[in-house]
Protein backbone atom coordinates (compact mmCIF):
# COMPACT_ATOMS: atom_id res chain seq x y z
CA UNK A 1 0.00 0.00 0.00
CA UNK A 2 1.14 3.56 -0.61
CA UNK A 3 -0.45 6.99 -1.02
CA UNK A 4 -2.88 7.95 -3.80
CA UNK A 5 -1.40 7.94 -7.34
CA UNK A 6 -1.14 11.73 -7.59
CA UNK A 7 0.54 12.04 -4.17
CA UNK A 8 3.01 9.29 -5.12
CA UNK A 9 3.76 11.19 -8.34
CA UNK A 10 4.35 14.38 -6.37
CA UNK A 11 6.75 12.62 -3.98
CA UNK A 12 8.67 11.13 -6.94
CA UNK A 13 8.84 14.49 -8.73
CA UNK A 14 10.18 16.27 -5.62
CA UNK A 15 13.10 13.83 -5.57
CA UNK A 16 14.49 15.59 -8.68
CA UNK A 17 15.63 18.34 -6.27
CA UNK A 18 19.28 17.91 -5.24
CA UNK A 19 19.66 16.61 -1.69
CA UNK A 20 16.01 15.51 -1.43
CA UNK A 21 15.52 11.80 -0.73
CA UNK A 22 12.35 9.73 -0.34
CA UNK A 23 11.68 10.78 3.25
CA UNK A 24 12.10 14.54 2.77
CA UNK A 25 10.13 14.42 -0.48
CA UNK A 26 7.26 12.86 1.47
CA UNK A 27 7.53 15.49 4.21
CA UNK A 28 7.57 18.27 1.59
CA UNK A 29 4.55 16.88 -0.28
CA UNK A 30 2.39 16.74 2.84
CA UNK A 31 3.58 20.09 4.18
CA UNK A 32 2.56 21.76 0.89
CA UNK A 33 -0.80 19.92 0.73
CA UNK A 34 -1.60 20.73 4.35
CA UNK A 35 -0.31 24.22 4.82
CA UNK A 36 0.96 25.95 1.70
CA UNK A 37 -1.01 25.26 -1.47
CA UNK A 38 -0.59 28.86 -2.60
CA UNK A 39 3.18 28.63 -2.23
CA UNK A 40 3.18 25.36 -4.16
CA UNK A 41 1.10 26.89 -6.96
CA UNK A 42 3.53 29.81 -7.19
CA UNK A 43 6.47 27.40 -7.24
CA UNK A 44 4.79 25.40 -10.02
CA UNK A 45 4.37 28.52 -12.15
CA UNK A 46 7.84 29.96 -11.52
CA UNK A 47 9.52 26.59 -12.16
CA UNK A 48 7.76 26.39 -15.51
CA UNK A 49 8.60 29.97 -16.49
CA UNK A 50 12.23 29.70 -15.41
CA UNK A 51 12.85 26.42 -17.25
CA UNK A 52 11.18 27.84 -20.34
CA UNK A 53 12.74 31.30 -20.42
CA UNK A 54 16.10 31.24 -18.63
CA UNK A 55 18.93 30.80 -21.10
CA UNK A 56 22.47 32.08 -21.40
CA UNK A 57 23.65 35.69 -21.77
CA UNK A 58 24.92 36.08 -25.35
CA UNK A 59 28.11 37.76 -24.16
CA UNK A 60 29.16 36.13 -20.89
CA UNK A 61 27.14 32.88 -20.85
CA UNK A 62 25.68 33.40 -17.37
CA UNK A 63 22.04 32.42 -16.82
CA UNK A 64 19.49 35.09 -17.66
CA UNK A 65 16.06 35.34 -19.28
CA UNK A 66 17.20 38.44 -21.24
CA UNK A 67 19.43 38.48 -24.32
CA UNK A 68 22.17 40.13 -22.26
CA UNK A 69 22.60 40.02 -18.48
CA UNK A 70 22.57 43.20 -16.37
CA UNK A 71 26.37 43.39 -16.28
CA UNK A 72 26.96 42.91 -20.02
CA UNK A 73 24.23 45.45 -20.72
CA UNK A 74 26.10 48.11 -18.75
CA UNK A 75 28.53 49.99 -21.07
CA UNK A 76 30.59 51.19 -18.06
CA UNK A 77 31.68 47.60 -17.53
CA UNK A 78 33.68 47.59 -20.77
CA UNK A 79 35.75 50.63 -19.80
CA UNK A 80 38.28 48.83 -17.61
CA UNK A 81 39.22 46.40 -20.40
CA UNK A 82 39.19 43.61 -17.81
CA UNK A 83 37.52 40.23 -18.28
CA UNK A 84 37.12 37.96 -15.25
CA UNK A 85 36.73 34.23 -16.00
CA UNK A 86 34.65 32.29 -13.44
CA UNK A 87 33.12 28.82 -13.33
CA UNK A 88 29.53 29.65 -12.34
CA UNK A 89 26.88 32.39 -12.01
CA UNK A 90 27.23 32.04 -8.21
CA UNK A 91 30.92 32.96 -8.58
CA UNK A 92 29.93 36.17 -10.39
CA UNK A 93 27.72 37.02 -7.41
CA UNK A 94 30.59 36.30 -5.00
CA UNK A 95 32.97 38.64 -6.85
CA UNK A 96 30.28 41.32 -7.26
CA UNK A 97 29.66 41.32 -3.51
CA UNK A 98 33.13 42.77 -2.98
CA UNK A 99 32.06 45.82 -5.08
CA UNK A 100 35.69 46.22 -6.13
CA UNK A 101 35.82 44.64 -9.56
CA UNK A 102 34.35 46.89 -12.26
CA UNK A 103 35.06 44.86 -15.43
CA UNK A 104 33.12 42.20 -17.32
CA UNK A 105 32.80 38.46 -16.80
CA UNK A 106 32.90 35.29 -18.81
CA UNK A 107 31.13 32.35 -17.17
CA UNK A 108 32.40 28.91 -18.17
CA UNK A 109 29.40 27.10 -16.62
CA UNK A 110 31.80 24.41 -15.45
CA UNK A 111 35.46 23.51 -15.84
CA UNK A 112 37.55 21.26 -18.07
CA UNK A 113 37.01 17.63 -17.10
CA UNK A 114 38.08 15.27 -19.91
CA UNK A 115 36.96 12.23 -17.87
CA UNK A 116 33.37 13.54 -17.96
CA UNK A 117 33.63 14.52 -21.62
CA UNK A 118 33.85 18.22 -20.79
CA UNK A 119 36.36 19.78 -23.16
CA UNK A 120 37.05 23.37 -24.32
CA UNK A 121 33.90 23.54 -26.48
CA UNK A 122 31.63 22.52 -23.57
CA UNK A 123 32.87 25.39 -21.39
CA UNK A 124 32.44 28.00 -24.13
CA UNK A 125 36.09 28.53 -25.10
CA UNK A 126 35.11 28.91 -28.78
CA UNK A 127 32.96 31.88 -27.78
CA UNK A 128 35.72 33.15 -25.49
CA UNK A 129 38.23 33.19 -28.36
CA UNK A 130 35.74 35.11 -30.52
CA UNK A 131 35.18 37.57 -27.69
CA UNK A 132 38.93 38.10 -27.22
CA UNK A 133 39.27 38.75 -30.97
CA UNK A 134 36.28 41.07 -31.09
CA UNK A 135 36.65 43.23 -27.99
CA UNK A 136 39.65 45.13 -26.72
CA UNK A 137 40.54 43.19 -23.58
CA UNK A 138 43.63 44.40 -21.69
CA UNK A 139 43.59 41.78 -18.93
CA UNK A 140 42.01 38.39 -18.43
CA UNK A 141 41.64 37.58 -14.71
CA UNK A 142 41.49 33.82 -14.16
CA UNK A 143 39.17 33.31 -11.16
CA UNK A 144 38.37 29.62 -11.56
CA UNK A 145 38.31 27.57 -8.34
CA UNK A 146 41.61 26.49 -6.72
CA UNK A 147 40.83 22.82 -7.44
CA UNK A 148 42.70 20.48 -9.77
CA UNK A 149 40.13 21.05 -12.54
CA UNK A 150 39.94 24.79 -11.90
CA UNK A 151 43.73 25.11 -12.08
CA UNK A 152 43.89 23.08 -15.31
CA UNK A 153 41.17 25.25 -16.81
CA UNK A 154 42.97 28.45 -15.78
CA UNK A 155 46.20 27.10 -17.26
CA UNK A 156 44.48 26.24 -20.56
CA UNK A 157 42.87 29.69 -20.90
CA UNK A 158 46.16 31.32 -19.86
CA UNK A 159 47.80 29.68 -22.89
CA UNK A 160 45.10 31.01 -25.24
CA UNK A 161 45.75 34.51 -23.88
CA UNK A 162 49.51 34.13 -24.32
CA UNK A 163 49.03 33.20 -27.99
CA UNK A 164 46.91 36.32 -28.44
CA UNK A 165 49.37 38.43 -26.44
CA UNK A 166 46.73 39.39 -23.90
CA UNK A 167 47.85 39.73 -20.28
CA UNK A 168 46.40 36.96 -18.09
CA UNK A 169 46.50 36.96 -14.27
CA UNK A 170 45.45 34.37 -11.71
CA UNK A 171 43.75 35.39 -8.46
CA UNK A 172 45.91 34.87 -5.36
CA UNK A 173 45.52 31.78 -3.23
CA UNK A 174 46.47 31.90 0.41
CA UNK A 175 45.21 32.00 3.96
CA UNK A 176 41.63 33.39 4.01
CA UNK A 177 41.22 36.67 5.90
CA UNK A 178 40.17 35.72 9.45
CA UNK A 179 41.42 32.18 8.92
CA UNK A 180 43.57 30.59 11.60
CA UNK A 181 46.83 29.16 10.33
CA UNK A 182 46.57 25.97 12.38
CA UNK A 183 43.32 25.01 10.64
CA UNK A 184 44.47 25.74 7.07
CA UNK A 185 45.55 22.83 4.85
CA UNK A 186 49.19 22.48 3.83
CA UNK A 187 48.55 23.13 0.15
CA UNK A 188 46.96 26.50 0.92
CA UNK A 189 49.85 27.40 3.22
CA UNK A 190 52.34 26.51 0.45
CA UNK A 191 50.46 28.87 -1.87
CA UNK A 192 50.47 31.56 0.81
CA UNK A 193 54.26 31.25 1.23
CA UNK A 194 54.93 31.17 -2.51
CA UNK A 195 52.77 34.28 -2.98
CA UNK A 196 54.34 36.25 -0.10
CA UNK A 197 55.00 39.94 -0.66
CA UNK A 198 57.19 42.54 1.09
CA UNK A 199 55.35 44.57 3.73
CA UNK B 1 23.58 42.88 -7.30
CA UNK B 2 21.81 39.55 -7.50
CA UNK B 3 20.70 37.09 -10.20
CA UNK B 4 18.24 37.86 -13.01
CA UNK B 5 14.65 38.60 -11.87
CA UNK B 6 13.26 35.20 -12.91
CA UNK B 7 16.09 33.30 -11.20
CA UNK B 8 15.56 35.36 -8.03
CA UNK B 9 11.84 34.51 -8.18
CA UNK B 10 12.67 30.82 -8.55
CA UNK B 11 14.99 30.90 -5.53
CA UNK B 12 12.31 32.66 -3.45
CA UNK B 13 9.62 30.20 -4.56
CA UNK B 14 11.78 27.18 -3.65
CA UNK B 15 12.02 28.50 -0.09
CA UNK B 16 8.35 27.55 0.41
CA UNK B 17 9.59 23.95 0.74
CA UNK B 18 10.06 22.93 4.38
CA UNK B 19 13.72 22.80 5.44
CA UNK B 20 14.92 24.77 2.41
CA UNK B 21 16.76 28.01 3.21
CA UNK B 22 18.29 30.66 0.94
CA UNK B 23 21.47 28.72 0.24
CA UNK B 24 19.85 25.38 -0.64
CA UNK B 25 17.16 27.14 -2.71
CA UNK B 26 19.97 28.74 -4.74
CA UNK B 27 21.73 25.40 -5.16
CA UNK B 28 18.46 23.75 -6.25
CA UNK B 29 17.63 26.50 -8.76
CA UNK B 30 21.00 26.23 -10.51
CA UNK B 31 21.06 22.42 -10.42
CA UNK B 32 17.67 22.32 -12.17
CA UNK B 33 18.63 24.99 -14.72
CA UNK B 34 21.94 23.30 -15.48
CA UNK B 35 21.13 19.63 -15.39
CA UNK B 36 17.48 18.76 -15.01
CA UNK B 37 15.05 21.00 -16.86
CA UNK B 38 12.86 18.02 -17.76
CA UNK B 39 12.61 17.00 -14.11
CA UNK B 40 11.75 20.58 -13.15
CA UNK B 41 9.03 20.75 -15.83
CA UNK B 42 7.53 17.50 -14.53
CA UNK B 43 7.68 18.81 -10.96
CA UNK B 44 5.95 22.02 -12.08
CA UNK B 45 3.10 20.07 -13.68
CA UNK B 46 2.67 17.54 -10.85
CA UNK B 47 2.75 20.30 -8.20
CA UNK B 48 -0.03 22.11 -10.03
CA UNK B 49 -2.14 18.97 -10.50
CA UNK B 50 -1.69 17.80 -6.92
CA UNK B 51 -2.57 21.18 -5.38
CA UNK B 52 -5.60 21.43 -7.64
CA UNK B 53 -6.96 17.89 -7.34
CA UNK B 54 -5.85 16.37 -4.03
CA UNK B 55 -8.54 16.78 -1.41
CA UNK B 56 -9.83 14.69 1.50
CA UNK B 57 -11.44 11.24 1.37
CA UNK B 58 -15.14 11.70 2.17
CA UNK B 59 -15.08 8.87 4.70
CA UNK B 60 -11.72 8.93 6.47
CA UNK B 61 -10.37 12.43 5.66
CA UNK B 62 -7.00 11.24 4.36
CA UNK B 63 -5.55 12.98 1.30
CA UNK B 64 -6.67 11.62 -2.05
CA UNK B 65 -7.67 12.93 -5.47
CA UNK B 66 -10.61 10.48 -5.58
CA UNK B 67 -13.91 10.82 -3.71
CA UNK B 68 -12.94 7.85 -1.55
CA UNK B 69 -9.44 6.56 -0.82
CA UNK B 70 -8.40 3.01 -1.77
CA UNK B 71 -9.02 1.71 1.77
CA UNK B 72 -12.48 3.21 2.21
CA UNK B 73 -13.44 1.96 -1.25
CA UNK B 74 -12.68 -1.64 -0.23
CA UNK B 75 -15.82 -3.26 1.27
CA UNK B 76 -13.70 -5.94 3.03
CA UNK B 77 -12.34 -3.20 5.28
CA UNK B 78 -15.75 -2.71 6.94
CA UNK B 79 -16.08 -6.34 7.96
CA UNK B 80 -13.91 -6.20 11.08
CA UNK B 81 -16.00 -3.38 12.56
CA UNK B 82 -12.74 -1.72 13.66
CA UNK B 83 -11.90 1.95 13.19
CA UNK B 84 -8.32 3.12 13.77
CA UNK B 85 -7.88 6.82 14.57
CA UNK B 86 -4.55 8.32 13.45
CA UNK B 87 -3.17 11.83 13.16
CA UNK B 88 -1.85 11.82 9.58
CA UNK B 89 -1.87 10.01 6.22
CA UNK B 90 1.74 8.96 6.93
CA UNK B 91 0.48 7.18 10.08
CA UNK B 92 -1.99 5.20 7.93
CA UNK B 93 0.96 4.09 5.80
CA UNK B 94 2.93 3.10 8.91
CA UNK B 95 0.09 0.91 10.25
CA UNK B 96 -0.60 -0.56 6.79
CA UNK B 97 3.04 -1.63 6.48
CA UNK B 98 2.49 -4.13 9.30
CA UNK B 99 -0.18 -5.86 7.12
CA UNK B 100 -1.92 -6.92 10.33
CA UNK B 101 -4.69 -4.39 10.72
CA UNK B 102 -7.64 -5.09 8.39
CA UNK B 103 -10.14 -2.42 9.52
CA UNK B 104 -10.82 1.15 8.44
CA UNK B 105 -9.19 4.43 9.43
CA UNK B 106 -10.16 7.92 10.44
CA UNK B 107 -7.45 10.52 9.86
CA UNK B 108 -7.61 13.56 12.13
CA UNK B 109 -5.10 15.55 10.01
CA UNK B 110 -3.64 16.88 13.25
CA UNK B 111 -4.38 16.75 16.98
CA UNK B 112 -6.21 18.89 19.54
CA UNK B 113 -4.13 21.98 20.31
CA UNK B 114 -6.27 24.72 21.91
CA UNK B 115 -3.27 27.09 22.01
CA UNK B 116 -3.11 27.01 18.18
CA UNK B 117 -6.90 27.27 17.86
CA UNK B 118 -7.22 23.62 16.87
CA UNK B 119 -10.35 22.26 18.55
CA UNK B 120 -12.61 19.23 17.92
CA UNK B 121 -14.14 20.70 14.73
CA UNK B 122 -10.71 21.32 13.15
CA UNK B 123 -9.71 17.66 13.53
CA UNK B 124 -12.96 16.35 12.04
CA UNK B 125 -14.67 15.14 15.23
CA UNK B 126 -18.06 16.30 13.93
CA UNK B 127 -17.61 13.93 10.98
CA UNK B 128 -16.31 11.21 13.33
CA UNK B 129 -19.46 11.40 15.47
CA UNK B 130 -21.64 11.12 12.35
CA UNK B 131 -19.58 8.14 11.20
CA UNK B 132 -19.95 6.41 14.59
CA UNK B 133 -23.73 6.97 14.45
CA UNK B 134 -24.00 5.80 10.83
CA UNK B 135 -21.78 2.74 10.68
CA UNK B 136 -21.65 -0.27 12.95
CA UNK B 137 -18.29 0.16 14.65
CA UNK B 138 -17.39 -2.44 17.30
CA UNK B 139 -14.04 -0.99 18.32
CA UNK B 140 -12.28 2.36 18.01
CA UNK B 141 -8.49 1.96 18.18
CA UNK B 142 -6.85 5.19 19.33
CA UNK B 143 -3.48 5.32 17.52
CA UNK B 144 -2.64 9.00 17.97
CA UNK B 145 0.98 9.77 18.83
CA UNK B 146 2.25 9.25 22.40
CA UNK B 147 2.77 13.01 22.84
CA UNK B 148 0.93 15.33 25.23
CA UNK B 149 -1.38 16.49 22.43
CA UNK B 150 -1.82 12.98 21.03
CA UNK B 151 -2.76 11.64 24.48
CA UNK B 152 -5.23 14.49 25.09
CA UNK B 153 -6.80 13.85 21.68
CA UNK B 154 -7.08 10.10 22.39
CA UNK B 155 -8.64 10.86 25.78
CA UNK B 156 -11.21 13.23 24.22
CA UNK B 157 -12.24 10.72 21.53
CA UNK B 158 -12.31 7.95 24.16
CA UNK B 159 -14.97 9.93 26.03
CA UNK B 160 -17.09 10.31 22.89
CA UNK B 161 -16.92 6.54 22.42
CA UNK B 162 -17.91 5.91 26.06
CA UNK B 163 -21.01 8.11 25.65
CA UNK B 164 -21.98 6.09 22.59
CA UNK B 165 -21.11 2.82 24.34
CA UNK B 166 -18.55 1.88 21.71
CA UNK B 167 -15.43 0.04 22.92
CA UNK B 168 -12.32 2.24 22.63
CA UNK B 169 -8.74 0.95 22.99
CA UNK B 170 -5.38 2.73 23.05
CA UNK B 171 -2.33 1.23 21.32
CA UNK B 172 0.35 0.04 23.75
CA UNK B 173 3.35 2.21 24.54
CA UNK B 174 6.58 0.63 25.60
CA UNK B 175 10.09 -0.25 24.61
CA UNK B 176 10.33 -0.47 20.79
CA UNK B 177 11.23 -3.92 19.45
CA UNK B 178 15.00 -3.92 18.99
CA UNK B 179 15.35 -0.90 21.28
CA UNK B 180 17.97 -1.01 24.01
CA UNK B 181 16.66 -0.27 27.47
CA UNK B 182 19.56 2.01 28.40
CA UNK B 183 18.73 4.40 25.56
CA UNK B 184 14.97 4.57 26.19
CA UNK B 185 13.56 7.58 28.04
CA UNK B 186 12.09 7.11 31.51
CA UNK B 187 8.53 7.95 30.47
CA UNK B 188 8.53 5.14 27.91
CA UNK B 189 9.96 2.71 30.45
CA UNK B 190 7.21 3.69 32.91
CA UNK B 191 4.64 2.90 30.21
CA UNK B 192 6.38 -0.40 29.50
CA UNK B 193 6.23 -1.40 33.19
CA UNK B 194 2.62 -0.29 33.63
CA UNK B 195 1.62 -2.29 30.55
CA UNK B 196 3.49 -5.46 31.55
CA UNK B 197 1.80 -8.79 30.91
CA UNK B 198 2.33 -12.34 32.21
CA UNK B 199 4.51 -14.51 30.01
ZN1 LIG C 1 26.38 38.68 -19.57
ZN1 LIG D 1 -10.71 7.03 3.08
Would you give the DSSP letter of residue B175? P
A46 with A81, same domain: the answer is no
B36 with B87, same domain: the answer is no
Percent of chain A with pLDDT over 90: 79
A125 is a domain residue = yes
ipTM of the complex: 0.85
Taking an 8 Å cut-off on Cβ atoms, the answer to whether B30 and A63 are in contact is: yes
Helices (runs of H) and strands (runs of E) counted in chain B: 8, 6
CA atoms B84, B90, B91, B95: torsion sign:
positive
The residue range of the domain holding B88 is 77-170
B12 is a domain residue = yes
| CATH code of A19's domain | 1.10.8.420
**Chain B partners within 8 Å of A22 (Cβ):** none
Query: How close does chain B come to A170, measured CA to CA in Å?
Result: 24
Cβ of residue A49 closer than 8 Å to a chain B Cβ: yes
- What's the CA angle centered on A183, arms A179 and A187, to 5 degrees? 95
Number of domains in chain B: 2
Of the listed ranges A12-21, A89-98, A190-199, B152-161, the least confidently predicted one is: A190-199
Residue pairs spanning A and B at CB distance below 8 A: 175
Taking an 8 Å cut-off on Cβ atoms, the answer to whether B45 and A44 are in contact is: yes
Phi, psi of B105 (to 5 degrees): -125, 160
Find the helix packing angle between A22-35 and A5-14, rounded to 10°.
Answer: 120
Phi, psi of B169 (to 5 degrees): -125, 155
> Residue B64: its pLDDT value, please?
97
Using the predicted structure, report yes or no on whether residue A1 has a pLDDT greater than 70.
no
A49 with A104, same domain: the answer is no
B106 is a domain residue = yes
Locate the DSSP E strands across chain B.
Answer: 55-56, 63-64, 82-86, 104-107, 139-142, 167-170
> Residue A192: its pLDDT value, please?
78
pTM: 0.84
A162 with A122, same domain: the answer is yes
In tens, the pLDDT along B130-141 reads: 999 999 999 999
Question: Looking at residues B50-54, what average pLDDT do you find?
Answer: 98
Cβ of residue A94 closer than 8 Å to a chain B Cβ: no
A143 is a domain residue = yes
B86 with B21, same domain: the answer is no
In tens, the pLDDT along A97-152 reads: 888 899 999 999 999 999 999 999 999 999 999 999 999 999 999 999 988 999 99
CB B84 within 8 A of CB B104: yes
B141 with B81, same domain: the answer is yes
Cβ of residue A109 closer than 8 Å to a chain B Cβ: yes
A48 with A81, same domain: the answer is no
Amino acid sequence: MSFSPLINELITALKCLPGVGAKSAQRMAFALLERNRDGAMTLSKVLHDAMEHVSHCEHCRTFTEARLCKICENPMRSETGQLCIVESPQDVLAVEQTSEYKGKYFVLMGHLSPIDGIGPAEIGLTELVQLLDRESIQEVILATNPTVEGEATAHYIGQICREKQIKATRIAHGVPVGGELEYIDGNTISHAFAGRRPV
